Structure formats: structure tokens, C-alpha cells
């Protein structure tokens, strides 16, 4: 494989569930040698990948692989790839559209595909996309996102979350029936917005019952500003498997500290994961003030906290980037987390929230990796422009940034850092 080009994906399979057991075939046995990256513990190593997994990690120059493709990662920090636990592929990239947004299947598929590829370029090799069902569009947006999932196989893992509007009372009967149909079609996660239903408790109960019936995880939108509602949700979620996730929970930051602390303790005891959105809200909830969930308080209570991007240039955030490193940067710069803790929210915590296997740069782990030019996580979060993304053991995306300074006596005297052309500039 030439270093300058991503490898091509194999044939697309049918859709399946999130994480293990998704119904996708095994990867062909290919070998790739990552030469000379730096790890977070300071070591410079070689990493050999084969069959979609990390086969070996050794000191730089120690892994001979004469038949393997080779990627020179000198000057790069090698990290477990981030994952995106809270995207909206059906509404992405609609902020600049004049007039009504089209939800024709081909338009939704195009947007969902482009959004997933943008997020892949940033490093996210798995995306959980919340898709609204019901109303005038029925199941067509979900069908389009599932088609995008199939077309993207081998590049990124895209999972659909079915999000009905109403589930309670006479008006919710259609929503419950449509949610069942969505799971039969291939939605892997049961979602929704209890805050928007006349009976939030009944809505959450309906979601949890249906998820238990189908053995699906739950991922609900909630602002988290109602302590009684959170307590009820925590009580219902206790012991539910394969797990319950809520977010973005910015309303927790507006509660008195003692009340928020009690809510955090209840969520921790129930094993509920919180996905915060440091880059801004998403369009699924009414905007009530752009506050990020109190990440340090939640973590200190023992709640697993992951970070997502939310809106990607839609009504929720017209300039949203969908970049997990930016989410981690914001948690480090404004959320009070250390750089490594902040990256964990978009890395291991996000993957765990999505039911994906844990990734470490160790032999036997899945080859889901992100190489970013830099030598430590703090620098990567600050200036992580050049990136190489590895999914299932293959390079699938590459972004190169070049910084040059004009030729001048000052630039030469100060020996300013420079990437790119070595010949004199114009």
C-alpha cells in the first residue's frame, strides 16, 4: 500500500448490530507495519498489524516484516482510535440549506455518508448516529442511514439509533409500533427523547421494556434538569443490560451542587453512562443554555462519562465540526480534566458506551488506531492537525497539515519549526 493513499474497503455486507455480533465477515489477513510511532508512555516502537488486530509491539526497528506494507510514523503519537457516541447523520450538514430540508432517502444517505467520512477523517472509526423516526418521514431516514452503514463498511462502523417522538398514550401507539419495525430493519439501539413526551416516565419505561425484549442497548436524550425524572430513570435502568446511556445532561450543571451530586450518585449506582457534548447542543432537544454536563462531578461519583460531538453543521450547531479531539480539548481546557482524562472520554469511555471492545496499543487488541503528529496528548489536543486513521488494521483516512514560515532573517535566526518544502520559498 502506498503511504499516500488509504486502502480500499472490501465488499459491503448486510447491516447488523453495534460492536461484536454485527453480522460482518472477518477481515482478510493483511499485514501492516507502523514504524516508529511514539506511545503515551514515551516509548518509540514498531507496531505490526494483521487480520484486523495488533499482532506485535516492539522496540523501534525490532519488528521485521519484509512482506508487510509499511507506514512511517516517526514524529507521530499513536493512540487508540476515538469513537463518536452521539451523532445525527440524518440532519448533518443542513445548516446552510435554504428552505425546507429534504428527507428524501437519497439526500439523507448522502448526508449521513458525508458526515461519517468527515468524522472518520478526524479519527472516529465508529459512529453511533441517532435517527428520528415517525412524523411525516416514517422510517425512510432510518432506511437511508442503514444503507449508508452498508456502503461504508470497511471504512468505518456506523450504527443507527431509532429515535421516536411520542411513545405514550393514544398518540404514542404508532410510535411504539414504528420503533419495533425500526429494530427489525436493523437499528441496533433504542433511543428517544423522554423530555418531549407528555409522560417522560412512561416514555422511558416503554423504551426500556422494548430494549429488554430485543436485547438492545438504550441511548436517551435528556437535558437532565429534573432531579426527580433522573432519579426515576436511574431506578428503572438499574441492572438493565446491555446498558443505558443518557445525554447531553447539560441541565445537571444548572442544578444546586447538592442536588446534582445526589443525581450523579444515583446514576452511578444504576450503571448509567452519560455522554456530554462539549462542542454544543444537538437539535434533538430544545436549547436551554449551552452548558456541558458537570463532567468532574459525574466522574468523581463513579459515572462513566463519554464525550460526543452532537450537531455537525445543522440547526443545533451550524459550525459543528464533529471532531472528537476538539471535544477532548474543550474538556481539558474548560472542563477541568487532565489531557489524558479528556482523551479517555472520546476514546475508551466512548467505545465502552457503544459496546465496542477496548483498544490498547498491545498485542491482541483490535487495530483501531489514530496517529497524530506530536509527542504527547496535551500537544495533540492543542495542535492535532496531521492525522492517520487505521480501521480494522488498514489505513482508511489521512489528513496532512503543512505549516511554513516565510524566509526571513528572523525565521532563520530563531530556527522556527517548519514542515513542508525545504527549497527556498518565493
Cβ-based neighbours of 43, under 8 Å, separated by 6 or more? 59
pLDDT at 248: 95
- pLDDT band for 404, please (50, 70, 90 cuts): confident
pLDDT digits (tens, 9 = 90+) for 294-347: 999 999 999 999 999 999 999 889 999 999 999 999 999 999 999 999 999 999
pLDDT at 70: 92
Q: Is the pLDDT of residue 409 over 70?
A: no
pLDDT digits (tens, 9 = 90+) for 21-34: 444 444 455 799 99
How many angstroms separate the CA atoms of 176 and 270, rounded? 25
pLDDT at 300: 97
End-to-end CA distance of the chain: 34
Q: Is the pLDDT of residue 349 over 80?
A: yes
Average pLDDT over residues 88-96: 95
pTM for the full model?
0.89
Q: Is the pLDDT of residue 406 over 80?
A: no
Q: Is the pLDDT of residue 239 over 70?
A: yes
- Dihedrals φ, ψ of 205, to 5°? -65, -40
In percent, the amount of the chain with pLDDT more than 90 equals 79
pLDDT at 6: 44
Average pLDDT over residues 92-121: 96
Cβ neighbourhood burial of 398 (10 Å; 0-12, 13-18, 19+)? middle
Helix, strand, or coil here: 241?
A: coil
How many angstroms separate the CA atoms of 59 and 43, rounded? 8
Average pLDDT over residues 194-219: 96
Average pLDDT over residues 57-75: 88
Q: Is the pLDDT of residue 244 over 90?
A: yes
In percent, the amount of the chain with pLDDT more than 70 equals 86
Q: Is the pLDDT of residue 41 over 90?
A: yes
pLDDT at 426: 39
Q: Is the pLDDT of residue 425 over 80?
A: no
How many angstroms separate the CA atoms of 42 and 33, rounded? 19
pLDDT at 22: 42
- Spell out the long-range contacts of 359-362 with Cβ–Cβ below 8 A and sequence spacing 24 or more: 359/80, 359/81, 360/80, 361/39, 361/45, 361/47, 361/54, 361/57, 361/78, 361/79, 361/80, 362/54, 362/57
Residue bearing cell 526497528: 61
Average pLDDT over residues 2-9: 39
Q: Is the pLDDT of residue 241 over 60?
A: yes
pLDDT at 15: 37
pLDDT at 5: 39
pLDDT at 19: 46
pLDDT at 20: 43
24, three cell numbers: 460482518
Lowest mean pLDDT among 30-44, 54-68, 133-147, 383-397: 54-68
Average confidence score pLDDT of the chain: 89
Average pLDDT over residues 3-16: 40
Average pLDDT over residues 375-389: 95
Lowest mean pLDDT among 113-127, 278-292, 348-362: 278-292
| Cβ proximity of 176 and 210 under 8 Å | yes
Q: Is the pLDDT of residue 74 over 90?
A: yes
pLDDT at 411: 59
pLDDT at 288: 56
137, three cell numbers: 418521514
Q: How many CB atoms lie within 10 A of CB 408?
A: 11
Average pLDDT over residues 387-411: 86
Amino acid at each position: 500500500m502506498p503511504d499516500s493513499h488509504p486502502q480500499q474497503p472490501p465488499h459491503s455486507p448486510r447491516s447488523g448490530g453495534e460492536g461484536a455480533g454485527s453480522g460482518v465477515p472477518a477481515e482478510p489477513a493483511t499485514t501492516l507495519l507502523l514504524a516508529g510511532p511514539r506511545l503515551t508512555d514515551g516509548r518509540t516502537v514498531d507496531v505490526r498489524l494483521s487480520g484486523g488486530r495488533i499482532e506485535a509491539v516492539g522496540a523501534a526497528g525490532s519488528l521485521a516484516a519484509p512482506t508487510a506494507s509499511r507506514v512511517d510514523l516517526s514524529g507521530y503519537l499513536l493512540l487508540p482510535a476515538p469513537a463518536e457516541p452521539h451523532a445525527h447523520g440524518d440532519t448533518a450538514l443542513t445548516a446552510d440549506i435554504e428552505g425546507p430540508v429534504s428527507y428524501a432517502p437519497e439526500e439523507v444517505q448522502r448526508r449521513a455518508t458525508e458526515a461519517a467520512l468527515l468524522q472518520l477523517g478526524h479519527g472516529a472509526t465508529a459512529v453511533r448516529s441517532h435517527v428520528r423516526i415517525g412524523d411525516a418521514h416514517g422510517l425512510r431516514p432510518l432506511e437511508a442511514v442503514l444503507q449508508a452503514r452498508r456502503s461504508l463498511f470497511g471504512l468505518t462502523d456506523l450504527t443507527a439509533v431509532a429515535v421516536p417522538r411520542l411513545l405514550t398514550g393514544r398518540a404514542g401507539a404508532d410510535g411504539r409500533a414504528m420503533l419495533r419495525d425500526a429494530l427489525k430493519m436493523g437499528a441496533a439501539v433504542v433511543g428517544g427523547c423522554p423530555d418531549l413526551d407528555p409522560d417522560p416516565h412512561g416514555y422511558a419505561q416503554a423504551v426500556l421494556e422494548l430494549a429488554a425484549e430485543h436485547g438492545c442497548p438504550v441511548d436517551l436524550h435528556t437535558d437532565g434538569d429534573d432531579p426527580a425524572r433522573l432519579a426515576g430513570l436511574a431506578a428503572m435502568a438499574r441492572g438493565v443490560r446491555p446498558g443505558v446511556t443518557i445525554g447531553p445532561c447539560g441541565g445537571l450543571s444548572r442544578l444546586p451542587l447538592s442536588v446534582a451530586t445526589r443525581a450523579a450518585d444515583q446514576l452511578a449506582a444504576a450503571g448509567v453512562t452519560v455522554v456530554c457534548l462539549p462542542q454544543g447542543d444537538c437539535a434533538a432537544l430544545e436549547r436551554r443554555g449551552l452548558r456541558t454536563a458537570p463532567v468532574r462531578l459525574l466522574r468523581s461519583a463513579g459515572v462513566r462519562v463519554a464525550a460526543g460531538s452532537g450537531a455537525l453543521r445543522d440547526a443545533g450547531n451550524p459550525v459543528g465540526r464533529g471532531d472528537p479531539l476538539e471535544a477532548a480539548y474543550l474538556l481539558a481546557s474548560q472542563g477541568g480534566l487532565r489531557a489524558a482524562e479528556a482523551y479517555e472520554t472520546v476514546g475508551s469511555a466512548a467505545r465502552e458506551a457503544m459496546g465496542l471492545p477496548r483498544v490498547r496499543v498491545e498485542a491482541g487488541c483490535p487495530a483501531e488506531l489514530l496517529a497524530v503528529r506530536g509527542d504527547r496528548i496535551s500537544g495533540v489536543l492543542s495542535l492535532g492537525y496531521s492525522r492517520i486513521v487505521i480501521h480494522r488494521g488498514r489505513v482508511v483516512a489521512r489528513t496532512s497539515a503543512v505549516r511554513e514560515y516565510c524566509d526571513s532573517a528572523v525565521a532563520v535566526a530563531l530556527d522556527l519549526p517548519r514542515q513542508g518544502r525545504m527549497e527556498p520559498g518565493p
